[in-house]
Structure 1
Amino acid sequence: MMKRENYDLEDRLIEFAVQSIDIAEALPRTDAGRYLSGQIIRSGTSPALVYGEAQSAESRKDFIHKVSIMLKELRETRINMKIMRKKGFLTDTPLITNAIREVNELIAIFVKSIQTAKKNNE
C-alpha cells in the first residue's frame, strides 16, 4: 500500500474516478442498477475533472467555490454507495469497501482544504 503523503491528490482523484466506473460496471442491469450506475459515473468522476479547474482558479474565492463543488460531488457519491450497500448491490466486496473508505478520506481532505483557504482569505 502506498504512503498517502507521497500520493499525489490528482492521482487519488483519478483512481477514485476509475473505482467509481468499476462499481458502475459491476451493478446489475436492472432499472435501479442502470440509474445508480449513471449517477455514480457522473458524481464519482466529476471531482477529478473539477480538481484541474481548481488548480487554475483565478482567485481564492474561485478556488473555494471549485473545491466546494468537488466536496458536493464526493458526498453525493458516498450516499450513492451507501444506497447500493443498503439495497444489497456489491455488499461488503472490497470494491465498495475500499471506495467508501477513499471517499471518506477525500471528503476530509477537501473539508480541511476549504477551511484553510477560508482562513487564509480573511
Structure 2
Amino acid sequence: MSESIIGKKSFDFAILIVNFYKSFITEKKEFVLSKQLLRSGTSIGANVREALNAQSRQDFIHKLSISQKECDETIYWIELLFATKYISKEEFDKLSNPAIEILKILRSIIITTKNKNS
C-alpha cells in the first residue's frame, strides 16, 4: 500500500513545528504564541490521519476540512510571529512555505472529493 502524500507532508510538518517549538521556547522564552503554533501545527497531521481512516466519504471531507482550518490557523500564527519580529524572514519561510503547500493540497483533495460526490 502506498503512503499518502498529505499524510507524509503533514507528519513531516508536525516534526518541523515540534522542533521549532522546542528551540523557540528555549531561545526566546515566548510561551503563549508558540504554544498556539504547536497545537495547530501538530493538529493538521492528526486530523489528516483521522481522515485517512474515515468511515465514509463525508467523514473524510469533514476531517480534512478540520485539518484545513488548523493549517490556516497555523499560517496565521506564523505570520503573527513574523510581524511581531519574534522570527526572522528565514524562519518565516522555513515554516510558512510547507504550511502553504499543505493547505493547497488539502483544499485540492477536498474539492476533488466533493466533486466526486456530485
TM-score normalised by length of structure 2: 0.88
Deviations 1:35-87 (A, max 9, x none): 01110111000111111110111111111100000000000000000000001
Counterpart in 2 of 1:50?
Answer: 47
Picking from 83, 86, 107, the partner of 2:83 is: 86
* Equivalences for residues 1-122 of structure 1 within 5 A: 8-25=5-22, 26-27=24-25, 28-29=28-29, 33-93=30-90, 95-122=91-118
Q: Tell me, which stretches of 5 or more residues in structure 1 are unaligned?
A: 1-5
Kindly indicate whether the alpha-carbon contact (under 8 Å) linking 2:6 and 2:105 is maintained by their aligned counterparts in 1. no
Aligned residues: 113
Cα 1:54–1:7 shift into 2, 3 Å:
closer
Cα 1:7–1:119 shift into 2, 3 Å:
closer
**SS at 2:100 equivalent:** helix
Which segment drifts farther, 37-46 or 7-16?
A: 7-16
**CA deviation after TM superposition for structure 1 residue 24, in Å:** 2.0
CA distance in 2, matches of 1:87, 1:23: 17
CA distance in 2, matches of 1:23, 1:89: 12
Kindly indicate whether the alpha-carbon contact (under 8 Å) linking 1:47 and 1:74 is maintained by their aligned counterparts in 2. yes
Identity of aligned residues (%): 28
CA distance in 1, matches of 2:95, 2:12: 10
**CA deviation after TM superposition for structure 1 residue 8, in Å:** 3.2
Q: Tell me, which stretches of 5 or more residues in structure 2 are unaligned?
A: none
Cα 1:7–1:60 shift into 2, 3 Å:
closer
Kindly indicate whether the alpha-carbon contact (under 8 Å) linking 1:20 and 1:41 is maintained by their aligned counterparts in 2. yes
